[in-house]
Amino acid sequence: MENQSGDDAKALELTRALLGRVPSLRGACEQVVRAGPARASSADRDFSGDLGSLPWVLATSVTVVGSEPLLIWHNLLNSGNLLPTYSQFVLMRATIEALVTVRWLLAPSNRPERVGRAVALQLADYDERRKFENSFFDLASLARTGDAKTAVDRLAELRTAASAEGILPAVVPSATDRVRDFAVMWNGDGEWVYRILSASTHALPWGLVLTRHVETRPHYLPGMSEAYVRPSALPTLALTRVAVETLAKTVAEVADYSGRVPG
């Protein structure tokens, strides 16, 4: 990693300190998952009915899986001493988008709304699986074995079960809205976080605002120039703070839902 300015060096140290919390936060969540819901907890009370386990299953699995990219960012900086130019922003977007989905799922104070949100998320998941299956398989030619089900089968079964329980699937907000409303911010809402992280994820030119301009050189095409950039520690610190604080808040809310206090 190149020599950093004084401000950048300080920002990197603060970023390392923030990321140092990630392994223990993930460990706390995994501990809650292994213990399962405590008796009379919100999660335990939700378990009645065929669909009552959905909020718990989705909240725990999405938190554990979704926080792994943030752990990779921790490893890059703390173990590999590597500050990428762009990749950390892609990793953080994946984690933040997952965590705000969990926070949205668990936000209601009553079972029907939580289960309705869980059903909506699971329907969306099955629909994405359906699109994959249609694009990858010739489903009509595949022989069914055992209890194998297609995504279409699963969608139909879930809709039938929801109707039987009187559960109305919620309308899932856009990813932008979920980040805006549920990312943990220190000033204002989180919409700018999602937009700037998405710019890096999709390699949009304006995402270069997250880098540090080094120099401009002449380009071989008339009237154009080439800009050379390096990683910038300050925006990296700001966005890492959002990701880590959102992870901490999500883990606390999952633990509260389960009635468990991680040791």
pLDDT of the residue at 82 = 76
User: Residue 218: is its pLDDT beyond 70?
Assistant: yes
User: Residue 58: is its pLDDT beyond 90?
Assistant: yes
Mean pLDDT (whole number) for 184-191? 87
Mean pLDDT (whole number) for 49-64? 95
What residues make up the domain containing 63?
6-113+173-258
* Adjacent-strand bridge partners of 211: 231
Q: Tell whether 144 is covered by a domain.
A: no
Q: Tell whether 34 is covered by a domain.
A: yes
Q: What percent of the chain has pLDDT over 90?
A: 71
**Lowest-confidence range among 78-82, 122-126, 206-210, 233-237?**
78-82
pLDDT of the residue at 140 = 63
For 55, counting Cβ atoms within 10 Å of its Cβ (0-12 exposed, 13-18 middle, 19+ buried), the class is buried
Residue 123 is encoded by which pair of tokens? 């329907």
Around 34, how many Cα atoms within 13 Å sit in the side-chain half-sphere? 8
CB neighbours (10 Å) of residue 92?
24
Q: 136 or 75, which is more confident?
A: 75
User: Residue 226: is its pLDDT beyond 80?
Assistant: no
Query: Over the stretch 103-147, which tens digit does the pLDDT of each residue have?
Result: 999 999 999 999 999 999 999 999 999 999 888 877 666 666 667
Dist. CA 87–CA 38, nearest whole Å: 39
Answer yes or no: pTM beyond 0.85. Answer: yes
Please, what is the average pLDDT of the chain? 90
Q: Tell whether 134 is covered by a domain.
A: no
Q: Tell whether 161 is covered by a domain.
A: no
Count: domains in the chain: 1
Query: Over the stretch 239-258, which tens digit does the pLDDT of each residue have?
Result: 999 999 999 999 999 999 99
Mean pLDDT (whole number) for 221-234? 79
Q: Tell whether 133 is covered by a domain.
A: no
Q: Tell whether 201 is covered by a domain.
A: yes
Q: Tell whether 145 is covered by a domain.
A: no
Q: Tell whether 159 is covered by a domain.
A: no
Residue 73 is encoded by which pair of tokens? 């960012």
pLDDT of the residue at 225 = 75
pLDDT of the residue at 224 = 79
Query: Over the stretch 30-48, which tens digit does the pLDDT of each residue have?
Result: 999 999 999 999 999 999 8
Model confidence band, residue 4 (pLDDT cutoffs 50, 70, 90)? low
125-to-9, 102, 122 alpha-carbon distances in Å? 42, 14, 5
Residue 242 is encoded by which pair of tokens? 């959002």
pLDDT of the residue at 11 = 92
pLDDT of the residue at 142 = 67
